[in-house]
Amino acid sequence: MAKREKANYLIQSVSHALDVMEELGKAQLEIGVTQLSKILKLHKNNVFRLLATLELRGYARQNPETEDYSLGVKVLQLGQAYLGQSKLVTRALPVLKALSDSIGETVSLAVIQNGQIQYPISIESKRPVRVSARVNVSFQAKQSTSGRLLTAQLSDAVLMELLATNTPQDAAIRTQLNELRSTGQIIDRGALEADVVTIARVVRGLNGEIIGAIEVTVPQYRAKVESILSQIEEAASNLSNSLGSVSTGISSAIEKEVTTDQAVRK
């Protein structure tokens, strides 16, 4: 029996409720029913009912004076639960903190999901001039540095489908594809974010599976890429090893030992 795509099981009302929550998260402070209705292209009555349900469950709250809405405290509880349950976050946090303290720059953990780059952890630099932490933000994968790196690691079949639109972003990934896959690293000097140098390196788990990427963002005027590359590589290697990946160096050593042994036997 062929396995059905998960998209076939999508429940529209649940999807709309999540859309509402995501828009509440994007709002600076509060947002009204009419504005949400326009953004989501849903009837105002539907939006009001979704908000009422979310409010009753604690995932949204209404300001009694303005009648506008914002996220409820239950969302924070879920976020804290995720941080406590995620092995990736638990093991990445001390690695990212140590790297940020060592190089003095903003360091984040980037993961890709459904074509979006999310940041479960972001440690902001303590310097007066710095790149802000990646808090409460997400990017289209093909329009971000870490996104391009992680998109390039996808299987050929998935990648061909994603790059079928032939946009400039697609062309950029195709041009760098072999390099991104062979090095597991990308360096962007102000092309995607003006005045910011971004360096990202993949993090692997069991069987070499790509888990995410460590991303370092530096103001362009003080970026000395070569001086911090080895520290970023070491941090990515340490995190990968803690998640069950065997480091490249060990793998190479084992392969070399086996090859040598076979040669001696001949």
CATH of the domain at 48: 1.10.10.10
Tell me whether residue 19 is in a domain.
yes
Q: Give the domain-ending residue among 31, 51, 76.
A: 76
Same domain, 37 and 100: no
Residues 96 and 71 in one domain: no
**Residues 190, 115 within the same domain:** yes
- Quick one: 104 and 194 in the same domain? yes
pLDDT for 66 beyond 90: yes
- Same domain? 134 vs 227: yes
194's CB contacts (< 8 A; 6+ apart) are: none
| Residue of 147, 159, 146, 148 whose CA lies nearest to 201 | 146
Kindly state whether residues 59 and 163 are assigned to the same domain. Answer: no
> Does 266 reside within a domain?
no
| pLDDT attached to residue 247 | 52
CA distances (Å), 201 to each of 16, 179, 194, 225, 254, in order? 35, 12, 20, 13, 24
Are residue 218 and residue 122 in the same domain, yes or no? yes
Integer Cα distance of 58 and 234 in angstroms:
42
Domain termination residue (choose one: 51, 76, 101): 76
Distance between CA atoms of residues 88 and 96, nearest Å: 12
Last residue of a domain, one of 50, 76, 102: 76
- The reply to whether 126 and 184 lie within a common domain is yes
Residue 32 falls inside a structural domain? yes
**Would you say residue 56 lies in a domain?**
yes
Say yes or no: 16 and 148 in one domain: no
Of 26-30, 120-124, 191-195, 251-255, the least confident: 251-255
The residue segments making up the domain with residue 52 are 6-76
Q: Would residue 263 count as lying in a domain? A: no
Sign of the C-alpha dihedral computed for residues 25, 122, 241 and 200 taken in this order: positive
Q: Number of structural domains, the chain?
A: 2
Residue 262 lies in a domain: no
The answer to whether residues 43 and 63 belong to one domain is: yes
> Among the listed ranges 71-80, 93-102, 177-186, 249-258, which one has the minimum average pLDDT value?
249-258
Rounded alpha-carbon distances, angstroms, from residue 50 to 21, 74, 165, 203, 247: 10, 16, 34, 38, 48
Average pLDDT over residues 213-219: 97
d(CA 266, CA 256): 16
Place of tokens 């079949």: 157
Radius of gyration (C-alpha) of the chain in whole angstroms: 22
Co-location of 25 and 149 in the same domain: no
**Is there a single domain that holds both residue 33 and residue 126?**
no
- Please count the residues of the chain: 266
98 CB-contact burial (10 Å; exposed 0-12 / middle 13-18 / buried 19+): middle
CATH code, 237? 3.30.450.40
Task: State yes or no: pLDDT of 249 exceeds 50.
Answer: no
What is the residue-wise DSSP string for 98-142? HHHHHH-SEEEEEEEETTEEEEEEEE---SSS-PPP--S-EEEGG
Burial class (CB in 10 A: 0-12, 13-18, 19+), 105: buried
pLDDT digits (tens, 9 = 90+) for 113-145: 888 999 999 999 999 999 999 987 888 999 999
What is the reported pTM?
A: 0.74
